Amino acid sequence: MSSPQSYRPQVSNDLSGRVALVTGGGTGIGLMIAQGLAAAGAKVYITGRRLAVLEKVSVSWDRQIGGEILPLQVDVTDKTSISNAKKFIEGKEGKLHILVNNAGQEGPKSLFFSDPSAPESKTAESLGTALFNNESLEEWADHYKINSASIFFVTTAFLGLLAKGSEDEKGYLSSVINITSISGLIKLAQDHFCYNSAKAAATHLTKMFSTELALKNIPVRVNSIAPGVYASEMTLDEIPSDLVDKIGKGINPVPSKRAGTGQEMAATAVYLASRAGGYVYGQELIIDGGYTAVNPSTV
């Protein structure tokens, strides 16, 4: 154990001098995280396909709060775009300390699935046929591309720069944080089999990356955050308490009786990226207000 003299809690969450990249950082959960990292002192590049959205966030960020937020247009489903982003960061910074794989979409939905009164739900034949006809293989492939495959390609593209970032300070490793979801942990479809299974794949990618990099002595930690009901482009800009359970689509109501806050999301990411979380490897932090505690899940 560290001696009391060597433990300095006042700097455990300080990200000054750290360089971060947050995919899908212009809105929703990605924006919450980007702002949290910057407030802790980091220089944060936010990526997305819509440059105007990223630029608006960057211009509006008050640097007196701390850190920087800079726009970088990237399509995480395109290898050339990812490679160009890697070259840009390499040229500007020469290294990377924090990578947040947040970009994602909701994917195909079959809203009749959870409605027992829907005509599609009358028989096994009608339900199966409706699901088969309502969704397409192309939709599933596109969805897995952004919600799962992008984690693999963005992480591998930046792996060398992340390892370079770990050279700055002995024992203070660079960090990859994958934003998964409780949808990948619960045994309910929530009307979107595709999204939930893709998020489950993202959870397992986190564990595989963490294990394989550790076994190969690559100095990069990999963890994930599984949010519950949070405001985002996939839900609502603001979620009042009376809509939490409607959005969550659980069997039982969320014990906290509210949506998660930006502060809670940002603080969790800062913890994993900072010295405070430096001993955490291959873990998924579930921040869901108790959703998985009262609904059927794999945890």
**Residues involved in catalysis:** 181, 195, 199
Q: Name the nearest CA neighbour of 33 among 184, 175, 241, 143.
A: 175
CB atoms within 10 A of CB 78: 14
Q: Name the nearest CA neighbour of 17 among 52, 43, 38.
A: 43
